[in-house]
Amino acid sequence: MNLSHKQAIELGDAVSNTPKSEIDVFVFPPACFVTELAAKNSINVGAQNAHPKVSGAYTGEVSVHQWAELNVKALLIGHSERRMYFGESNEFLKEKVDAALSVNVQPFFCCGEPLEVREAGTHIAFVKNQLEESVFHLPASEFEKIVIAYEPIWAIGTGLTASVEQAEEMHAAIRSWITEKYGNATAEKISILYGGSCNPGNAQALFACPNVDGGLIGGASLKYEDFAVLIDPKTWNI
């Protein structure tokens, strides 16, 4: 929930005009700016939230079916803030995943553990359960359409920092679960993004990890000079 209309459009235009042929870039603006940015054919625009029902008495909500009509290509599902502040359960997120896929909107499914789970040493099982209850019900043909984003919630806005080793550990675990469930071919097709305060200072080290395929960028996406570094192929050593 950041930026004014003017700032959002200027940022969207700057990202749209940045050469990025070797990098897939999606932007997820606040809902009030989505349609204007989605009208620009040179930028992939997603929504931060949607309701899984096609329609109904859900005042204040926008259905994923409505977003699909407006050229919205992707949907964030399970973001840590939706889970924490709005109480979205794994079952409800499963409904969102199914609804998005039904209208060819690509789910960007977020998973990750809070500090108390990390400190208890149960973070691996915690994240696996999130995936099992929300996305592992899908057949391989549908599962291959999603993107997974790992958010170590304890490392976002807390002053704590996840190490490159901690990021790779979880990404490798996620990849291994996908392999167990769907096979190696499917596991290799899935992009697993890192969403723990990725910025120009740590991006190269994170992107060099074997199982980190990209970033779910928060604060660093609000300033074009920072975001431009992250979507530059040189940052990825391409």
Contact in structure between 227 and 220 (CB atoms under 8 Å): yes
Pairing of strands 26-27, 106-111: unpaired
**Could you list the active site residues?**
79, 151
CB 192 within 8 A of CB 150: yes
The answer to whether the CB of 126 falls within 8 A of the CB of 170 is no
Q: How many CA atoms within 13 Å lie on the side-chain side of 38? A: 20
User: What secondary structure letter does DSSP report for 103?
Assistant: T
β-strand partners of 47: 75
Own/partner contacts of 234-237, CB < 8 Å, gap of 24 or more, are 235/200, 235/203, 235/204, 235/207, 236/22, 236/23, 236/207, 237/204, 237/207, 237/208
